[in-house]
A and B are shown apart, each in its own frame.
Chain A
Amino acid sequence: MADARSLVKRRAGPRLWLSAGWIGLVVLAAVFAPLIAPQDPLAQDLFLGRMPPFWMAGAEPGYWLGTDSLGRDVLSRIIFGARIALSVALVAGGITCILGAGLGLMAGYMRGWVDTVISRFIDIWMAFPPVLFSILLIAVMGPGLISIIVAIVVIDWTRFARVIRAEAMGQGVMDYVASARVVGRGRISTMLTEILPNVLPTIVVLLTLEMGIAVIIEAILSFVNLSIPTDDPTWGGMISEGRISINQAWWVLVFPLIALFLTVLAFSQLGEGLKNRYDPVLR
């Protein structure tokens, strides 16, 4: 008889709730930024420069997290910055995942020359220093959102390809794959029904990690001024600007840093939480 494991309800747990909650909040902030943001993120007012956050003496009403040296509202800039952070996370993470996992799955399942070509390509690719590579790429393509996304995909697809290849190889030797082939199922169909569901939990964890990494890479590139060329607020850009006035106005640096930290943490915890909740094998 089937044992009682399937009857045990797995609770989502605080990990999943907190991480999903924070990401939900950031998504809402990004989508409804113009409605939520208390101020215009680009409006400068030199009379209101370096105003402290609301609980400190001398705070200006309506500027909850204070202002930077040009008098721009920090909270509003963080809210608008979420738009860029999230679009990079979703688009770059998604493309990296599809490309890397797809190639890894093919290499690991089909083996033979397909595997040889893909694996050698990964080896060569990984020999390039990634930061230099991305800076070079952006230097050639010019700064901008598209360049950042391309840079992230180009650097990080190998991470997926490697891990998924190894997982798919492990799955490929299982008897249920042999059984599917005896039945006469095609290779692609076997790959999608027998291999993919078993590597999916790993793909989900990698994807959420990758989204966190994408947010960080975007921040790094903004920090060195290789990201968005306009005045559009980015978290990395804010951190970079805040660094200059850290002694007079720490809040300009600290709040975007907290937003960045929590978002990256939430992404990685979301993956783990989803895996624990939905992976049938862990039940």
Chain B
Amino acid sequence: MTYLELKGLSARITRQNHPLLRSVSLSVAPGEVRGLVGESGAGKSMIGKAVLGILPKAVEVTGGEILLGGEDLQRLSDKDRRHRIGQTCALIPQDPLTALNPSRRIAPQITDRLVDILGWERARAVARAEELLDEVRIQDPARVMRAYPHELSGGMRQRILIASAFAAAPKLIVADEPTTALDVTVQKQILKLIRDMQARHGTALLFVTHDLGIVSKVCNRLSVLYGGMVVEDNDVPGFFAGPRHAYSRALLAATPKYTDPSASLTPVPDQVIADVRAEIDAFDRERAHV
């Protein structure tokens, strides 16, 4: 039973015939982690934003369905869609340094969503927020709640964002490169934390990243994107044992090996890029005829 399902989701730059997502289909079940990998501009963040309804104004969805718990978001009115997403989804953003409002203390930034979404009383929300901070292993939660974001380190802020994403018990969390802005030692702790929290709460997680190393540690399934098209949809053990698509194989070969750090990086071969581009062109031509 899947929780989030995309069926043929397409998007383009508003009023221009420039596709950004080409008929993307994927699914995430409760308790499952779906990795979205691809190079810059492959459309991985765009998918997360489309699901959460926070696409920039310059991008419009042109077709396909976004099914959340079996209900197509595209068919809901703006207000109902916002409400539905707010009730069931949360975002772990990329950059913890800009994701907390600098002029507000931590407490209201976590409790707001408990009050807004679950309709809790403020006092109860504060107590729950402290529990959550404890759950993401922040010491002295009461003091952190009174702090302003700039008084905390990047890793702590990301922990707070994770706590706040899980606060209202969402069914789906979109994590948009949650560790890119952190240094490597902190990265590992944060990944483990996200994974633990996700497993404990049984949340469906859409994990956007460009790092196959992270995918191998965190995800159950993955979608490889190129040019807004899913070139491979596979489970993680299967993918690392033998990727099906030539582009995925090249991408995997381009990943630096921890076992042999001195080996030079292999870029994705030009021929592979040319082939996958041809595939995209063929897709666009077929679309144009329909």
**Which residues in A have some Cβ–Cβ distance to B below 8 Å?**
1-3, 5-6, 111-112, 174-176, 178-185, 193-194, 197-198, 200, 279-281, 283
Interfacial chain B residues near A179, Cβ < 8 Å: 91, 93, 99
Q: How far is the CB of B54 from chain A (nearest CB, A)?
A: 5
Chain B proximity of A6: nearest CB distance (Å): 6
Q: Report the bound CA distance from A175 to B151 in whole Å.
A: 18
In the complex, residue of chain B having the shortest beta-carbon distance to the beta carbon of A200: B103
Shortest B247–chain A CB gap in Å is 30
- Asked if A281 meets B90 with Cβ closer than 8 Å, knowing A112-B57, A174-B98, A183-B117, the reply is no
* In contact, A175 and B116 (Cβ under 8 angstroms): no
The one of A112, A174, A184, A281 in contact with B116, judged by C-beta atoms closer than 8 angstroms, is A184
Using known A-B contacts A5-B151, A112-B57, determine if residue A176 contacts B101 with beta carbons closer than 8 Å.
Answer: yes
Q: State the CA gap A281–B113 with chains docked (Å).
A: 23
Residues of A near B102 (CB, < 8 A) are 198, 280-281
B residues lining the A interface (CB < 8 Å): 52-54, 57, 82-83, 85-87, 89-91, 93-95, 98-104, 109, 112-113, 116-117, 139-140, 143-144, 147-148, 150-152
> With contacts A185-B116, A198-B102 known, what are 17 further pairs, Cβ within 8 A?
A2-B151, A2-B152, A175-B91, A175-B94, A175-B99, A180-B112, A181-B54, A182-B52, A182-B90, A182-B91, A184-B87, A185-B86, A193-B112, A194-B101, A280-B103, A280-B150, A283-B148
Q: Which residues of B contact A111 (CB under 8 A)?
A: 57
Which of chain A's residues has its CB closest to B91's CB? A182
Query: For B54, what are the chain A residues with a Cβ–Cβ distance below 8 Å?
Result: 178, 181-182
Are B151 and A6 interface neighbours, CB within 8 A? Answer: yes
A193 vs B109: C-alpha distance in the bound complex, in angstroms? 10
Task: Write the chain A residue with the least CB distance to B89.
Answer: A182
Q: Which residues of B contact A184 (CB under 8 A)?
A: 82-83, 85-87, 116-117
Minimum CB–CB distance from B156 to chain A (whole Å) comes to: 8
In whole angstroms, how far apart are the Cα atoms of A35 and B100 in the complex?
Answer: 52
The winner among A175, A176, A180, A198 for most chain B CB atoms within 10 A is A175
Taking A175-B98, A197-B101 as contacts, is the C-beta distance between A6 and B148 under 8 angstroms? yes
Residues of B contacting A175 with CB < 8 Å? 91, 93-95, 98-99
Which residue of B is nearest A185, CB measured?
A: B116
Q: Which chain B residue has the least Cβ–Cβ distance from A198?
A: B103
B85 touches which of A1, A5, A112, A182 (Cβ 8 Å): A182
Structural contact, A2 and B99, CB atoms closer than 8 A: no
Residues in chain A near residue B85, CB distance under 8 A: 182, 184
Task: State in angstroms the CA–CA spacing of A197 and B90 once bound together.
Answer: 23
Chain B, Cβ-Cβ closest to A194:
B101
Q: How far is the CA of A197 from the CA of B57 in the complex (A)?
A: 24
CA distance A279 to B94 in the complex (A): 26
8 Å CB contact of A283 from B109, B143, B150: B150
Shortest CB distance B123–A (Å): 19
B140 engages A1 (CB within 8 Å): yes
Q: Quote the shortest CB–CB distance from A197 to chain B (angstroms).
A: 4
